A and B are shown apart, each in its own frame.
Chain A
């Protein structure tokens, strides 16, 4: 990354608009042309755009961390999951009896756990020598026992409350958009904790530590039934846009859809997705505006100076570790926002689906391909790679069928066609390696 930055010539100013136009054409083709490659369904094109925009938010967060800090967050999936927890806790309706069953005890247990950690930290800071080890061990054991004694009965009580339909602590019933900043806060808090430990050491350590926290957050989401029902999933999370069924029973909307030449079902799907797209585009543009303003401010120049030469920046009196922590927390908050947006779009919290290859490393491919250090590049890379990722599932087997047509219809050909959807992992890896090697500045290089 750093070694090639000055080498290349300044790219043409038309490059970004043209590339965005190309992506738009791809989406338009998906919506209008129906053949072996495109589905010809506007619903499918808009769904691709919406998930692409959410990926773009995550990519913007990763780009802040990587493009402007040179830090490697290998646990993006965890921060997306944490962000996704916020709509569940903030906007789902309250579960009758859950709070009464174990709410206060649960809070007490969490407070006890937190107090234990603070005490451990304080003991480790203040004491020295043998007493330090002894006191820390004592606090760990006592704190663990106390927390478990409070936590287990509270959880059992909450999970026993209407287990078929609920069994979780429930939400606050607030509007779902309010949960987005909460998702940012949750992700930022986790990022602060992990960054405090791992930053300032070797650069690989942050990568490994974030890999761990990502896996653990997903494990917590899957297994803590009281929190968000775990793998039982939470459905019907409120959304900020109208429901399809409500639109279909609205005669005015049906008439309007008919005027556009669509039946009510297709029309309502498109209308809802357009509403989402408008909200998401607004979020992406706001984020780009804010990050661009920050990056061309003295703060942004300092950040790039630190990335390009940490030693020199430190010699100029910049606290490198602190700035890295700041950037890491901000970037992770943006990743958390994307998680909250995704759960809002799906109306579903399904922790079983949080796969690191899809939610951590694919986002990384988007940033690298788009152009690390360039916010527009991150957005472009996100929409483009998401489009290719989804379409490769369709294109892969078709391409394989053509490629293997000389082979006789034996077991090998069947196996190859069958495993072609898996081909996209291979393809993404090859794309990442090629871009890193031959175009390390990506499609839209940093200015």
Chain B
């Protein structure tokens, strides 16, 4: 029984939150890694683009709620997601046309493009601040829980409870669906194959008659769709606060690099690795240890939650030292 209690505690406080967070990071890292693989720069504006997309979702959600349209037990934000993705993707395509295309044409050094993405980051940050402000916004509605702690206790008769929030369940479902769709697209469709070919060898792809502008457009649309989904799920799960989306940039980059920049499978693995390390190292393991028959004197917390960024950073440093190409052999050299 104690073993089961320990397991439930672990699931409730580590496994489920880390899975949801990992899925959000993976979606973000997929966008970063796709942009890196095809446009060949690290997009510093990714976090703030996520924030902007989420702000669009929130505005549309408010609009829908004002019209009296909801999704019942599911958050209304899901309904607002597709138009928000379309809006943000349109903005990203404009940004590409006005900013990034120039640097592709003159074949600028990657670091100059990174600098331009810092400019885009400022613009996105400013837009988000103007549109929705800097405060915390909670926009989750519908049912809060799939399973609550008392329900679970009643069902199983265990002392420890387990809760599964709607947002966590939705995060996992949406992440699984979109990753599946992405891989089907990349591996099975002509456009997806063209993208992979372009990422692999630009010149050879051009020689085979692949339209580079189309590949670039597709990349932006997919990356933005993933980013807005990641941002919305993250905002539903926690709350929306513009600055948090700047801070999530580091774990996202770390996830993409750990998996190997430019490698989609790596980005997903990296996202979950970072999320599980972060949650496991900042969780106080005292309760689990007690159920397992130990008598710990302290909280058994490796690191305070205020240093969770340090975990992604340390993982990043170790990977850079030991295997700079990442676990799944990305393009980095």
Contacts and interface: CB of A to CB of B under 8 A. Distances in A.
A74 B121 CA distance: 13
Contact of A216 (B111, B304, B309): B309
Contacts of A201: 320, 324, 332
A42 interface: no
A426 interface: yes
B123 interface: yes
A3 interface: yes
Interface stretch (B187-195, B228-236, B244-252): B244-252
B119 A433 contact: yes
Contacts of A220: 307
A198 B320 contact: yes
Nearest to A430: B123
Contact of B122 (A204, A215, A429): A429
A361 B122 contact: yes
Interface in A161-216: 197-198, 201-205, 207-209, 211-213, 215-216
Contacts of B126: 422-429
Interface string A409-447: 000000000010011111111101100110010000000
A427 B122 CA distance: 8
B281 to A, nearest CB: 11
Given A211-B250, A212-B250, A204 B116 contact: no
A215 B333 contact: no
A21 interface: no
Given A208-B257, A209-B320, A219-B306, A425 B250 contact: no
Contacts of A71: 111
Contacts of A423: 126, 130
Interface stretch (B77-85, B101-109, B196-204): B101-109
Interface string A298-325: 0000000000000000000000000000
Q: How large is the interface on A (under 10, 10 to 19, 20 to 34, 35 or more residues)?
A: 35 or more
A72 B115 contact: yes
Given A204-B110, A357-B125, A197 B253 contact: no
A223 B109 CA distance: 38
A88 B12 CA distance: 43
Contact of A3 (B106, B317, B324): B106
Nearest to A356: B246
B129 A419 contact: yes
B284 to A, nearest CB: 14
A70 interface: yes
Contact of A433 (B107, B123, B246): B123
B321 A357 contact: no
Interface in A131-153: 144
Nearest to A218: B309
Given A205-B257, A213-B313, A215-B247, A425 B114 contact: no
Contacts of B112: 1-2, 436, 440
Contacts of A212: 250, 254, 309, 312-313, 316
A361 B121 contact: yes
Interface in A216-251: 216, 219-220, 222-223
Given A215-B247, A219-B309, A357 B320 contact: no
A368 interface: yes
A423 B125 CA distance: 10
Given A70-B111, A204-B41, A216-B309, A432 B332 contact: no
A364 interface: yes
A219 B307 contact: yes
B310 A219 contact: yes
B272 interface: no
Nearest to A438: B102
Contacts of B41: 204
Interface in A63-84: 70-72, 74
Of listed B115, B306, B312, residue having the most chain A CB within 10 A: B115
B42 interface: yes
Given A3-B108, A219-B309, A437-B99, A204 B121 contact: no
Contacts of B124: 429
A207 to B, nearest CB: 6
A71 B332 CA distance: 17
Nearest to B129: A422
Nearest to A71: B111
A211 B108 contact: no
B297 to A, nearest CB: 11
A426 B133 contact: no
Interface string A71-102: 11010000000000000000000000000000
A2 B118 contact: no
A212 B312 CA distance: 8
B44 interface: yes
Contacts of B115: 72, 364, 368, 432, 436
Interface in B292-331: 302, 304, 306-307, 309-310, 312-313, 316-317, 320-321, 324
B179 interface: no
A174 to B, nearest CB: 31
Nearest to A208: B253
Contact of B304 (A204, A223, A424, A430): A223
Contacts of B106: 3
Contacts of A432: 115, 118-119, 122
Contacts of A356: 246
Nearest to A149: B298
B23 interface: no
Contacts of B42: 204, 207-208
B120 interface: yes
A2 to B, nearest CB: 6
B49 to A, nearest CB: 13
B127 interface: yes
A361 B47 CA distance: 15
Contacts of A216: 307, 309-310, 313
A201 B310 CA distance: 21
A305 to B, nearest CB: 16
Given A208-B42, A209-B320, A364-B118, A425 B125 contact: yes
A73 to B, nearest CB: 11
Interface of B: 41-42, 44, 98-99, 102, 106-112, 114-116, 118-127, 129-130, 133-134, 246-247, 249-250, 253-254, 257, 302, 304, 306-307, 309-310, 312-313, 316-317, 320-321, 324, 332-333
16 contacts: A70-B109, A197-B317, A204-B114, A205-B324, A207-B44, A207-B111, A207-B114, A212-B250, A216-B310, A219-B306, A357-B122, A364-B118, A422-B133, A425-B122, A426-B122, A428-B122
Given A424-B126, A429-B122, 16 more contacts: A74-B44, A144-B302, A203-B114, A204-B41, A205-B257, A207-B114, A208-B257, A208-B316, A211-B253, A212-B313, A361-B121, A419-B133, A422-B130, A426-B123, A426-B127, A429-B124
